[in-house]
Structure 1
Amino acid sequence: MSHGDDEDMTREPEMVQAYRDTWELGLHSYLTYLRDRLLLCRDLLTPSGSIFVQISDENLHHVREVMDEVFGAENRIGIITVVKTSAQEADELSSVCDYLIWYARDKNSVKYRKLWQQKSPNDAGASDYNKVELPNGERRRMTRDECDDWNLLVQGSRIYTQDNIVSQRPPGDFPVEFEGETYRPITGYWKTGVEGMTKLIAAKRIEKRGRMLRYVRFFGDFPYRPIANFWPDVRFSSRVEDKLYVVQTTAKAIERCLLMATDPGDLVLDPTCGSGTTAYVAEQWGRRWITVDTSRVPLALARQRLLTATFPWYDLKDPGRGPAGGFVYQRRQNKKGEEVGGIVPHITLKSIANNEPPQEEVLVDRPETVSGITRVTGAFCFEASIPPAAGDESGVGFQPAQKTDSNFASHVERMIEILRKSPLLRLDGGKTVLLKNIRPPAKSLSLSAEAQVDPSPLNLNPTLNLNPPPSSAASRPIAIVIGPENGPVSSRLVEHAAREAAGKSYSHLYVIGFAIEAKAREAIEHCETVFDIPATYVQATPDLLMGDLLKNMRSSQIFSVCGLPEVRVFPAGPKGRPYDSPGRSPGSEEKTPSKPRRGAVIDDETKYQVELLGLDVFDPVTMENQSRTGNDVPAWFLDTDYNGLCFHVSQAFFPRTSAWDNLKKALKGQFDETVWDHLAGTISAPFEAGDHRTIAVKVIDDRGNELLVVKELK
């Protein structure tokens, strides 16, 4: 079978896949995946907890059946229709809606906070308000033009409708004297007693219509209506920047779900992170959150979004408890007398008849905000595979080829089979490397597989001038070692594999893993110097850990070659010189240390600064290093006191994006432009050496891969 079309695509700019959604067995694999995760979510929910699942109409009935099985049909709260777009031209009936299926852990205990939406003249039912009370007390029917545009009315007018005052519940069958006539309910009973009816008449809340009395309900009695299960107002606006992710849910839809089903301080879990909208909304409304994804691209997007987000500062009832103590809500009116606060009086027939103060409704989406304060995202951690403790070399990181471990052996066999189905290794610039003849080695202690690199020119960057042609080493097989299924690649694994690969005269060593220790990255960097064989780290997408639910195809972006960040550390000060030159791969050019940006250096020899010089990526086809400047990476982070286990973001930089624009606008020019240039630059702010006297730099590449380099402060 020819794959010429795929190879041709490698010569064009490549669209990075954010996720894979091609299921091995189609709908069956998807429903299996969904059921497993719903079972886990059910166990994690508190008795008052809820779960929302967004789905299109195509599979709505299937997903509802699965949720009935997991949660029980008796715990279904409802199905919410969410309008996502306007009607598009289609061969058949176009779909403009998605659906939110809402189930409770226990419907009898579910937490529910009613949401309200301000009424408008265009709402369904607003046409019933066709009468007006003028400022002089005169009451009349509104004209057609006035019904269409309430702004035509005299200021101070009160719009009202005549509502029913009869119910089917006794007592309430008594005569009422009104304007010289006696009235009784034609059917049913009056909604209030004799005393209550007297108070309603005195308050001018009773009018006659034909042979029946009616209750006068003003539009301003409670200018809000409860939000039901049809949401036509939550779709994206026309601005492109609103949508960050292909399957992103609007923040307003998620906001309503959180406000209905949680309180400030509650914990929210989103098992499909995407662009991080759930975490973003939860952070805004004072909810704790956990978000998970099987792909690094959405996690990188979510991290950037959260790190650069700004929120209003809500007034807290109990600052000592934080958001868990609740927000402050107050009743406020504007100059027109309209309710604009978080507490709104709800005038009802009952409150007037019983001469009671009106009931107050709390609009949970209107807490009091403190002006002049810009809030940013609170501290959060970003977790992945956890490396073993320092000095622990007996863990799963060094179990590459012991066939006695049946679990690891099956993991290696499965990874080799996946590599055969998807033999393309992705490099920067839209290039790929094609592996062929992938097979386990005849005899091996550490190596997992061997293969040939296809030297076809179709795999090369068309701008490269291959004169002389690639080294003859490209004709020799390459060695592959596969890291553990659960855990990072260790330095011992790299060293043992490199020693064996060099002894068997392989041309190159590929180390494939889901995560890698910093020392293992250093070992790969120095493989050619120490073991006389170049090595490359290949990142495997984490969704492979989902088993065989997803389909592995040639076009799947499963394996990507990761580069190595190149940094320099220097004492802060105008005369600071780099004290440590990072190791360089053969053929790379010496980079001239760039001068620190204006405003980024101070005269303090006890402090240090870090500069990201660039990112080196080895091209296994040309056998050359391809370098990118530090200004050409999406993001990089600095930990000024790295302990070898947990990376703590002390400083964050986004050189290639406008990520800080939101914060810049929120602060309204309180800082000089050089500050924002620095936050989008490649040189850190000065810092003091920490207790561990070690720093770590983490670079995020275009595929969301995390590339870590560690330096000691000598």
Structure 2
Amino acid sequence: MARNTTGKIVETLTYDEASRKNIPTAEYQSVMRQEEQSPIRVACERRNRDLDPQLVWRGKDEQDWSDLVVHAPPLYIQEKVHPKVLIDDLIRCAKTRGKAEYQQLDLFADFNGLPDDNAKTEFYQHDANWSNRMILGDSLQVMASLSEREGLRGKVQCVYIDPPYGIKFNSNFQWSTTSRDVRDGNVDHITREPEQVKAFRDTWRDGIHSYLTYLRDRLTVARDLLADSGSIFVQIGDENVHRVRALMDEVFGDENFVSQIWFRKKTMPLGANLLEQMGDWIVHYARRKESIKFRRLLTLSSVEGDNHWNIAVFESGLTRKLSRLEVDNHKAVNEDFDPAQLISMSPIGYSPHRVFSVEVNGKKFQPARGKSWKTDELGMQRLNRAKRLVYYEDGERLRYLLRHSDYPTTPISTTWVDTSAPSEMRYVVETSLKPIQRCILISTDPGDLVLDPTCGSGTTAYVAEQWGRRWITIDTSRVALALARARIMGARYPYYLLADSRDGQLKEAEVTRTAPSEAPTCGDIRQGFVYERVPHITLKSIANNAEIDVIWEKFQETLEPLRAKLNKALGEQWEEWEIPRDAWDNWPDKAKDLHAQWWKQRIARQKEIDASIAAKADYEYLYDKPYEDNKKVRVAGPFTVESLSPHRVLAVDENDELIDSLAEPAAGYGEERDFVRMILENLKTAGVQQAHREDKINFSSITPWPGHFVCAEGRYTEGDEDSATEKRAAIFIGPEFGTVSRPDIVAAAREAGDAGFDVLIACAFNYDAHSSEFNKLGRIPVLKARMNADLHMAADLKNTGKGNLFVIFGEPDIDILDAGDGQIQVKINGVDVFHPNTGEVRSDGADGIACWFIDTDYNEESFFVRHAYFLGANDPYKALKTTLKAEINEDAWATRCTVTPRGRSTSPKAGALPSKSSTILAMR
């Protein structure tokens, strides 16, 4: 049997009309001008404190003496990821059974858009193609950089913030990409990753006072990014919702408050001593309420059990009253029907020209004394022909038949009970899709920009991608970004029909019963999708629908002769409304046949009139129900992974010497003295943590040291109590914004050796790729501790010594294999971890690595993820694997979970084949 070659087409969305500033990649840091590398001081105006009542907390008066001043360092692109390229590569691998030579295509042109090659190094001066963004760093500084350096002030349509609720450790913190089980006080759950903001209550220097300062600063910067029509949503628990509401009144003005939404978070009560809280809150403010963009969302309504809807309308157009039992249980009616109710035909006012006699089913009706009809004579005739005029059994009062299908929806309110948490959570504080989805859909259109300063598991980015919104998401946690990156890379979305496409035009014509548009199309997503819609049928729309007359007259040409023949066969004089629905048993066969024909035409007429009413009436879009193209499947569009500090990669020759002739900038910026003093204070309290608890270094003293690279001497005890010896550590501190290079560490190690130190401890937010290979200089061991991004907020966070502010990382152990014909393969063996007490290197296996990436055509300008392998993390391609089972076989899927890549690459001219890894504990 021949294999079915017809399969899914893999597509993605691009934003051709949108652009972003050309920012440097990590590789380009060395060619940046000094003023481009140095942080910019950005002042954000606070609201006038005299305008309205405000919340007061410790230290606020002092802060309000000036505007909020934020450092805005440059952002650096670390990785460029195009999920469609990875899927296309797997499809190509499946078709060729892995035997065809890998083709290096220019599949990453979507990231370019620059006018020429020279523009690549002219940062912030040119616009490049838009790509979505995932940024590692403190959201305050990142948002300031986006606003000041990249001109995004006033360009963001929606901001969604899910800040720490300020409650307990395990509500905000996750230590591993494969486990959400976080237990307070469990030493095994000490993080290995360096930039996790643990904003639970007792880490704030002044408790709730610091927390409010933290949140107000970020709300202030986010406010400046919002467009005038933009909205901001803050998700918060009931513990702090009242404070957040007062805080947002201050930042945005109480006149810009929109709503406070309660949404259900738990599926069932878990047991509480007092009343149990089942959900959280979302506080919604507008940038300017008078200009807000708002798209109303509708939910299908049910009238079962509502005694007002006590009329059944059947397919034939006939009606009958429902019993109380049938009202409460529609299934008790054995035939499909549309619930309806009878409402008055008289308006509130009085119109003399709408006082006339109306005949319905042989009975004549006049409006009540002092009243008039709601429409004119022609309109009443159309209502009658549409079977919308019904009289009570007493025959005295004429009523309008309002059908539930006329408007079967209700707008969503501020209480959402259908939003329970996801059954398979990826992150310890992951939010259900539906609350975020609703917030984005009511406040944005396709192509608009959504910002989430609290990435978490990437739910906001995931939802924004699904609905065709551009997105930027920020987090200080590598665990969070590792989860979010894998989630977006493996996401599968339905392919929604674009309004600006030929298929979209045809679908729109089908839905609206009009001729297809012949306008040229270009796939502009800003024109939206083709949405399902619900009619909003009103009495007025039926009365003004002239097509009802055309349909009526057309069917009368068939129905009237059939009625005449039926009357003749039975010897009756029945009018249309008198013909029974079911034929009598004693009728002759000819009469039964005529009766069946007549009712068939009668039902067809009613269906056509109903269809015309629905098509000609006003309608409302269901913005959460676009039409899908089932022949296509969509994956995420191109996105970049960025950070405040570049993890630079420099080219080296065969002797591992730097080829780059430009010197690395000095490891220090700006207000160095205050920064160094703050780092030393925290280092004394927190110590230096390794992956294993027994490896922690606790300092007995730290004193300043007058060196060029070494700034302090730290003393600590090595060994157990019986054999303890005191060691002297030289401490080298890297820049507040920037990367420490190998030459810096080598120079610091030499200085430490000359001064007689036992070990060098380097503390930095980031290290370049080649410094990771440097662990020892002669007798001097070199320990490289990554500093936690919490230290950017040191003024707010309490120095408790429990924050893992300085963490020593292991490095990936890789082998370069000769694949023959001048080609190579890379094998990843695991992670090497240095043990400070013994000076030995421990090796952990490859199962400790969540994912690793390879650029098989590295150009020393950008790292493109051309191959992605997932070893220890949950499989991000699970959904796509099911959808594309006809296009990609099991063998091809299996190549994603290997320590040796499926492809081969030509040996690079300088340095090793670029690769990056992320362990289960989110190390790079």
TM over 0.5: yes
SS in 2 for 1:269: strand
Alignment of structure 1 residues 373-522 onto 2, 5 Å = 373-384=632-643, 385-386=645-646, 391-393=661-663, 395-397=665-667, 399=668, 407-428=671-692, 431-455=694-718, 475-522=726-773
Match of 1:674 in 2: 891
Q: Deviations over 1:389-413 (max 9, x none)?
A: 954435242x4xxxxx871121111
Higher gyration radius (CA): 2
| Equivalent residues, number | 628
Alignment of structure 1 residues 367-378 onto 2, 5 Å = 367-378=626-637
Supply the distance in 2 between the matched residues of 1:481 and 1:645 (Cα, whole angstroms).
29
Q: Deviations over 1:611-635 (max 9, x none)?
A: 1122101011232211112232111
SS in 2 for 1:366: strand
2:608 aligned with 1:608: no
Letter matched to residue 218 of structure 1: R
Supply the distance in 2 between the matched residues of 1:513 and 1:103 (Cα, whole angstroms).
38
Instruction: Report the CA distance shift for 1:53/1:256 in structure 2 as closer, same or farther (over 3 A).
Output: same
Note the C-alpha offset of 1:170. Answer: 5.5
Match of 2:534 in 1: 344
Letter matched to residue 258 of structure 1: I
Q: Deviations over 1:259-304 (max 9, x none)?
A: 1111111111111111110111111111111000122221111111
Match of 2:421 in 1: 236
Letter matched to residue 217 of structure 1: L
Note the C-alpha offset of 1:316. Answer: 2.3
Instruction: Report the CA distance shift for 1:15/1:495 in structure 2 as closer, same or farther (over 3 A).
Output: closer
Contact 1:271–1:291 under 8 Å retained in 2: yes
Supply the distance in 2 between the matched residues of 1:166 and 1:246 (Cα, whole angstroms).
58
Letter matched to residue 651 of structure 1: H
Q: Deviations over 1:17-44 (max 9, x none)?
A: 8540132222222221222111211211
Contact 1:52–1:100 under 8 Å retained in 2: yes
Contact 2:408–2:534 under 8 Å retained in 1: no
Contact 1:295–1:543 under 8 Å retained in 2: no
SS in 2 for 1:372: strand
Letter matched to residue 278 of structure 1: T
Note the C-alpha offset of 1:483. Answer: 1.0
Letter matched to residue 559 of structure 1: F
Instruction: Report the CA distance shift for 1:438/1:489 in structure 2 as closer, same or farther (over 3 A).
Output: farther
SS in 2 for 1:364: strand
Instruction: Report the CA distance shift for 1:542/1:323 in structure 2 as closer, same or farther (over 3 A).
Output: farther
Supply the distance in 1 between the matched residues of 2:682 and 2:346 (Cα, whole angstroms).
72
Match of 2:166 in 1: none
Q: Equivalent of 2:382, from 183, 187, 199? A: 199
Contact 2:854–2:915 under 8 Å retained in 1: yes
Instruction: Report the CA distance shift for 1:519/1:146 in structure 2 as closer, same or farther (over 3 A).
Output: same
2:278 aligned with 1:96: yes
Instruction: Report the CA distance shift for 1:9/1:644 in structure 2 as closer, same or farther (over 3 A).
Output: farther
Instruction: Report the CA distance shift for 1:102/1:322 in structure 2 as closer, same or farther (over 3 A).
Output: farther
Note the C-alpha offset of 1:507. Answer: 2.2
Contact 1:609–1:684 under 8 Å retained in 2: yes
Supply the distance in 2 between the matched residues of 1:556 and 1:506 (Cα, whole angstroms).
27
Match of 2:923 in 1: 705
Q: Deviations over 1:460-514 (max 9, x none)?
A: xxxxxxxxx98x8x63222221111001112232112101112223222221111
Instruction: Report the CA distance shift for 1:361/1:42 in structure 2 as closer, same or farther (over 3 A).
Output: same
SS in 2 for 1:258: helix
Note the C-alpha offset of 1:704. Answer: 2.2
Match of 1:627 in 2: 843
Alignment of structure 1 residues 43-54 onto 2, 5 Å = 43-54=224-235
SS in 1 for 2:366: strand
Q: What is the TM-score of this pair, normalised by structure 1? A: 0.81
Q: Deviations over 1:69-111 (max 9, x none)?
A: 2222222222222111234422222111212111222222221
SS in 2 for 1:98: strand
Supply the distance in 2 between the matched residues of 1:11 and 1:253 (Cα, whole angstroms).
34
Q: Deviations over 1:118-153 (max 9, x none)?
A: 22356xx85532221244554333233322332332
2:835 aligned with 1:650: no
Note the C-alpha offset of 1:668. Answer: 2.5
Contact 1:287–1:323 under 8 Å retained in 2: no
Match of 2:782 in 1: 535
Alignment of structure 1 residues 147-226 onto 2, 5 Å = 147-165=327-345, 167-168=347-348, 171=351, 174=355, 177=358, 179-184=363-368, 191-193=374-376, 195-208=378-391, 213-226=398-411
Instruction: Report the CA distance shift for 1:443/1:53 in structure 2 as closer, same or farther (over 3 A).
Output: same
Supply the distance in 1 between the matched residues of 2:235 and 2:798 (Cα, whole angstroms).
23
2:322 aligned with 1:142: yes
Bigger mean CA offset, 321-330 vs 475-484: 321-330
SS in 1 for 2:640: coil
Q: Equivalent of 2:298, from 90, 93, 116? A: 116
Note the C-alpha offset of 1:176. Answer: 6.1
Bigger mean CA offset, 201-210 vs 563-572: 201-210
Letter matched to residue 734 of structure 2: G
Identity %: 36
RMSD: 3.0
Note the C-alpha offset of 1:424. Answer: 4.7
Match of 1:308 in 2: 490
Instruction: Report the CA distance shift for 1:222/1:456 in structure 2 as closer, same or farther (over 3 A).
Output: farther
2:525 aligned with 1:324: yes
SS in 1 for 2:873: coil
Match of 1:554 in 2: 801
Match of 1:262 in 2: 444
Contact 2:454–2:475 under 8 Å retained in 1: yes
Instruction: Report the CA distance shift for 1:55/1:185 in structure 2 as closer, same or farther (over 3 A).
Output: farther
Structure 1 runs of 4+ off > 6 angstroms? 8-11
Letter matched to residue 103 of structure 1: Y
Letter matched to residue 29 of structure 1: S
The structure carrying a bigger helix percent of its residues is 2
Contact 1:508–1:534 under 8 Å retained in 2: yes
Supply the distance in 1 between the matched residues of 2:684 and 2:523 (Cα, whole angstroms).
53
Instruction: Report the CA distance shift for 1:278/1:135 in structure 2 as closer, same or farther (over 3 A).
Output: closer
Letter matched to residue 139 of structure 1: T
Contact 2:263–2:415 under 8 Å retained in 1: yes
Contact 1:10–1:432 under 8 Å retained in 2: no
